[in-house]
Chains A and B, each alone.
Chain A
Amino acid sequence: MEMNFKIFRFDSEKDKEPYYSHYTVDAEPWERLLDCLNRIKWEQDGTLAFRMSCAHGVCGSDAMKINGRCALACQKLVKDYQGSEVVLEPLPTFKVLKDLIVDLTPFFERVEWVRPYLIAAGFPEKERLQSPEERKKVDEVIRCILCASCVGACPVSNENDKYIGPAQIVQAFRRIFDSRDQEKTERLKQLDYPDGVWACVNYFECTRACPKEIPVTKSINKIKREIEKLLR
């Protein structure tokens, strides 16, 4: 079937203003929007720039705005966009570097800031024991692939560039609720400030956007409750 695309274009080397390019490609219903993007790039216009790698929702490279919603192009199928033009734009809140490629440096710096690693000392000879129930507490958040869709979708992140961000809080959650981590209180204190967890006002857009179906908002609220319980 024929698919029509309207794609955001901007190259800081030569463009003063962004503009949109229109493309038409033939695609099978079961193909991914990423397949269409690749066909456009490979066959029609090699200047079009976007990131991609695994093409099945594991690496998190091809997050973008698809008809107004942040998502991964490799997880969306042609059949679900029949009959309408597909508008592709870069993830909101981020600085556009070229076309659909945004500057992720601040995103990864903020991930670093929450210390996304386990802090613990005194290892046994073998593994530390952890009950299946304890382990289950992080079962959903370990799905995070750092694609930044949630940040792009978050109305708070869009307005307040100081907000630490939903993905970063998910990363913190992974350690706060890991029974093996020994810095729980410190981690909670770190997020307990106006632009930390308290900036979230439950729009649930992050949850809707998450391509790995992580209950992001619920996780943020859980941290808020933990702060109330342990720090107040």
Chain B
Amino acid sequence: MIFKHDVVIVGTGLAGLRAALEVADEYDVAVISKVYPTRSHSGAAQGGIGASLGNEEPDSWEWHMYDTVKGGDYLTDQDAAETLAKDAPRAIYELEHMGVPFNRTDEGKIAQRAFGGHTRDFGAAPIKRACYAADRTGRVILDTLSSEASRRGIRVYSEFNLVDLLMDKGRAVGLAAYELATGEVHVFHARAILLATGGFGKVYKTTSNCFANTGDGVYLAYRAGIPLQDMEFVQFHPTGIYGLGVLISEAARGEGGVLRNREGRRFMEDYAPTIKDLAPRDMVSRAIITEIRGKRGIDGRDFVNLDLTHLGKQKIEERLSDISSFAKIYVGVDTSTDPIPVSPTCHYMMGGIPTDVDGKVLDMNNTAIHGLYAAGECACISVHGANRLGCNSLLDLVVFGRRAGKMIRLDLEQADWPDLIVNPEVKSLIKLKGILNRNAGEKAVHIRNALQTLMTKNCSVFRDEKGLRRALDELSTLKARYENVVIDDRGKAFNTDIMEAAELESLLGLAEAILVSALARKESRGAHFREDYPERDDANWLKHTLIQRTDEGRRVFYKPVNITRFEPKARTY
């Protein structure tokens, strides 16, 4: 079928929904999602959403902006960071008005707590800036926006997978989506398309990300010739439950939890003397791996302990109940009496589809592509630079999701209906039928496992040229193997077999973008740490990476960072 809507948004996480709410009163907007909206991965965000409300202690947006820039190791575009920090209080009040059940102070205001890298007075000491609803902040905001969307009658196509982005003469004209229930490929014809497809942590073996996070939107943009920005910057959250990667929120340390090595020592004192366990995630993850390499992991093994035992049962129950239940269920740990075994887990992609602060997708010449927008984790504004601070992500989603929605509304006053390309679904059908009709070959799982293993081994917290080159070699073998991917399910209804095989193409393509970008950047900055180039090198590398697929092959090029208020300085905490 061909569905026609003024605006089609891909993704029902916070960015997609917030944008939809902005547009819905004036235009016909539809949202498509791989899952039911309330199952989007924004719902897994735990600890909080940052804003300088100053409800617990004095705060200012300048401090928040500074922390965001420094946290991003000065790769952050400062106009974007300023927008984020200035708009944050308004965004939080708006969520409160919509009904988000934030925890409260004794005075009845929104409660706030400390989070990694957020400080007062430009780095002097930790500050309470993260607004929260226990440790299920993302989930309750998602529930709120999702019910608000249905209240406003926004059309949602649940369990529709994006399979193609339709571009014509440099303009986005629509997209193709696979309906899981029927196995049909449908075409969505639109005047404006917003990609809000989230991250792609599933490129790695151990991740806090959900299975849906395969980055289809980002990959399809890349496949369509749109450059991807800063792809080498992959965030590893320091505290995933050992072995599983299930997230234990930074709020655990914000509330006073500490990391300990096998000697019981609070080792973050050695790495970040001022703010210790509340250092930014890239630093804490490096510290943990350094401890493990120095044989100071617990029992000499590859994890450390996150100790909450001194917080007291009441605080844990009131503010950290979800993570306590994760510890109980998955590792049998009672957090009030025993520490949680943790190690870094792939968590967030700083890179993605390049956009301006209004969500317009930028092409290789840094000019806006007509009709195409991106917001949320799939986009790179770049507001997080080389390393995102905790509780800035939910904020990014609602601030820049809204801005993208506003921009779309404005643009639609002028935008005409583009012609749909001839046979818009044919490319997707050829691809899917190719998989469906193949009789012999290799199952996706083997290729996917090999990919996740090679990325984890060669492109995680620490990288070097040798490993990255080896990974690229292995990746080309995997891509060749993918040409023969085979599935069992030939049916139409709920054929998740074929969708998982299709998603693997996204993962392979995105891994390529990450590896090539990481190999090119010969310095260490934020989450990208090159052991062969361990220093930050502002003279040569204070610039954004762009990688593009062209007819002549992959092309890597750069663009300057927007620096307004804060000149790069040494990054110590």
Q: Which residues of A contact B (CB under 8 A)?
A: 11-14, 30, 32, 41-43, 45-47, 49-61, 75, 77, 97-99, 101, 104, 108, 112, 115-118, 120, 123, 125-132, 134-135, 138-139, 142-143, 145-146, 174-175, 178, 180-181, 212-213
Contacts and interface: CB of A to CB of B under 8 A. Distances in A.
Interface of B: 35-36, 38-41, 43-44, 53, 89, 92-93, 96-99, 101-110, 133-134, 136, 139-140, 143-144, 147-148, 150-151, 181, 210-212, 243-244, 246-247, 318, 322, 325-326, 329-331, 443-445, 487-489, 491-497, 500
Contacts of A134: 104
Contacts, number: 165
A127 B92 CA distance: 8
B211 A135 contact: no
A7 B150 CA distance: 35
Contacts of B39: 53-54, 59-61
Contacts of A108: 36
B253 to A, nearest CB: 19
Given A118-B144, A131-B106, A175-B99, 17 more contacts: A11-B491, A13-B491, A32-B330, A42-B443, A52-B211, A56-B246, A57-B325, A60-B38, A60-B39, A98-B494, A101-B494, A117-B99, A127-B92, A129-B108, A131-B104, A139-B318, A212-B325
A13 B493 contact: yes
Contact of A14 (B147, B246, B444, B491): B491
A57 B331 contact: no
A interface SS class: loop
B139 A145 contact: yes
Contacts of B96: 127-128
Nearest to A76: B329
Contacts of A11: 491, 493
Contacts of A60: 38-39
A37 to B, nearest CB: 11
B111 to A, nearest CB: 8
Contacts of A178: 99, 101
Contacts of A125: 93
B99 to A, nearest CB: 3
Nearest to B492: A13
A146 B330 contact: no
Contacts of A127: 92-93, 96-97, 102, 109-110
Contact of A135 (B98, B104, B325): B104
8 contacts: A60-B39, A61-B35, A61-B39, A104-B36, A127-B109, A135-B102, A142-B143, A212-B325
A160 B150 CA distance: 27
Contacts of A59: 35, 38-41, 43-44, 210
Contact of B497 (A30, A47, A126, A174): A47
B445 A139 contact: no
B330 A142 contact: no
Which of A98, A112, A213 has the most C-beta atoms of chain B within 10 angstroms of its own C-beta? A98
A47 B211 contact: no
Contacts of B108: 129-132
Given A42-B443, A129-B107, A213-B325, A54 B136 contact: no
A213 B150 CA distance: 27
A104 B158 CA distance: 11
B139 A57 contact: no
B136 A143 contact: yes
**Residue of A11, A42, A45, A77 most packed against chain B (CB within 10 A):** A42
Given A128-B96, A130-B108, A132-B104, A56 B326 contact: yes
Q: Which of A47, A123, A145, A175 has the most CB of B within 10 A?
A: A47
A56 B345 CA distance: 14
Given A13-B492, A45-B488, A97 B104 contact: no
A146 B150 CA distance: 15
